[in-house]
Structure 1
């Protein structure tokens, strides 16, 4: 067995164990509610495999993925940015105002809109980082309060006479519609069908690659992970914990600013009262599900989006769709428990290997080779 496979095996075992446990618990809940688990799962898989469902799953997963990345980079430094929800909504609102009121040529318009969203999200999250490094305010408390303030600011700006206009033939209000030159066209999913996915899926892929390089292949990432493991040890090695805290919160907010862009530029073209909310809190669960790894987060986002989409068929079959919410919560809890169990078993195995080496005074590798 190669060294790389040995490192991956505990994580794979934990993921499989968590999935099995969550399926067992969900099956028990279905039985208690009077539904047949195999029938319910079959209906969910059949509905989720339809072309339109696949497109919706991927589109939802794109936003979930970006939200989870914003949370994950904070987790790597033991920072809990619970304000992603407010950061992305405020960023999307301001970006929609700029794109709607200031028409620009293609490409330049999209770049300016993305830049505005990133800057607003980063600056809003930076407030929490600044409070933490200068006044010692917990980022959990400050980001929760900033969520409420962001909600109030969006509500204030989204009024007629300020930055909102009345939608034609509707009681809904929103920012001026983004002109075609500022939109991002969808990408075809299946040839011969009308199903498309967000064109900004490319932005999500680039964000994931950038996250991986920044966290695991750069000096900044090493300092970030070192600070998260032990702030005192990081200080001893010359790392400024305050600078790392502020910078990480700004980067987390910048990623959060991207969350609403796929929907804004690829589907709604305006920020209105019905713009998707709550994506920041979903990102927390998916970041835990993916263990702060971009590949794990991608699979977690797809799983979460699949459960969201496939729940729509349950009501039609007389099965409460709230079962899916139970499944989602169970998956997260099982993942946390499974990884902890596997971690302890792996640690115990390593301790036994070291004990055998010390008892026999023969290196483990040499004994295994013999």
Structure 2
């Protein structure tokens, strides 16, 4: 039994390791083929990460990515592909920013209200895809992609000054208005006034909650069982349709929290410059981290490092898009490496079964000869 666990552990680590090595090797090949020094850009990025302000930026960005990846991972464990995290997160951030700016409450209550609105909005938007999947059998991939587009259009419409948007005089930016200071989440100040978003620690704490619920509760067992085999789960008394709905609602609620570190920790408003594509980055991180909270944590740090450290490439005469190339190659490498590891795992398992059968047959033959 211990040997089998060891094999599983090695196979689990082999996928991410192979993906990262392949991605960085391919990046260096692409740079060399383009006539660019393949090593110096990576050295510059590592040097950038040695500065304290860049480290804070990486940690804050990792918290945002971590929440997005957790939302995706919840769907993955249920065998659902929630591509709509980006739309769910942006719509939740916008709605919670509007209500947060319109209401003034005592500090903790104000923050809790904003967070609750964000979770409910994200859950509602994901729940639409959940209903379509559970009641009509509509693929969540198709519905969540469409809901992303609808969310983008809806946000643009709601941000118009004639609706909920606010346009300051002399500015082309549209915002939802400033949230009162009572709705700001306390930050951890380090160094020369540098701040780590307080909600970043909440994000990482949710990883512990995610692990506990998934591995130590009946709901988590039902979710994993339904994701592994819906028919088998139904045969054991699990309501698969209910699990689909519940999983999408929880995934959407966590997606709704993705914008909270930035909204409550820095911007205190939703505007046209609010980050796009965070939900899609979360898919990469969840895949690279194999849907495990620890793996997702290190994957979020890696992607955040590439994001923030690559910003210093411009000053050294290199295109910062090198970081984008690296992220894209990681996505491709993850898909390919995991498939290779999966096939190797199957062959390895078949080989071990064959060896055990051969050993059993040999023992039986020896006993017959002795008899």
**In which range does the TM-score fall when normalised by the shorter chain?**
over 0.9
Matched-pair contact (CA < 8 Å) for 2:16–2:288: no
CA distance in 1, matches of 2:148, 2:39: 41
CA distance in 1, matches of 2:362, 2:49: 52
1:248/1:363 CA distance change after superposition, 3 Å: farther
Query: Are residue 232 (structure 1) and residue 227 (structure 2) matched?
Result: no
Matched-pair contact (CA < 8 Å) for 2:129–2:140: yes
The worse-fitting range, judged by mean Cα deviation, of 87-96 and 143-152 is 143-152
Q: Residue 245 of structure 2 aligns with which residue?
A: 246
Cα offset, 1:241, TM superposition: 1.0
Matched-pair contact (CA < 8 Å) for 2:63–2:201: no
Matched-pair contact (CA < 8 Å) for 1:60–1:305: yes
CA distance in 2, matches of 1:172, 1:8: 50
Q: Deviations over 1:162-213 (max 9, x none)?
A: 3222236532121121111110122134xx4222111101220222112111
CA distance in 2, matches of 1:80, 1:13: 23
Matched-pair contact (CA < 8 Å) for 2:124–2:252: yes
The worse-fitting range, judged by mean Cα deviation, of 297-306 and 344-353 is 344-353
Q: CA RMSD in A?
A: 1.9
Matched-pair contact (CA < 8 Å) for 1:304–1:328: yes
TM-score of the pair, normalised by structure 2: 0.92
CA distance in 2, matches of 1:331, 1:173: 35
Matched-pair contact (CA < 8 Å) for 1:29–1:323: no
CA distance in 2, matches of 1:193, 1:11: 41
Partner secondary structure for residue 36 of structure 1: coil
The worse-fitting range, judged by mean Cα deviation, of 293-302 and 318-327 is 318-327
CA distance in 2, matches of 1:337, 1:357: 30
TM-score of the pair, normalised by structure 1: 0.93
Q: Residue 367 of structure 1 aligns with which residue?
A: none
1:6/1:352 CA distance change after superposition, 3 Å: closer
Partner secondary structure for residue 37 of structure 1: coil
The worse-fitting range, judged by mean Cα deviation, of 47-56 and 252-261 is 47-56
**Structure 2 stretches of 5 or more lacking a match?**
364-371
**Structure 1 stretches of 5 or more lacking a match?**
365-370
Q: Residue 313 of structure 1 aligns with which residue?
A: 312
Q: Residue 111 of structure 1 aligns with which residue?
A: 112
Paired residues, number: 362
CA distance in 2, matches of 1:308, 1:237: 45
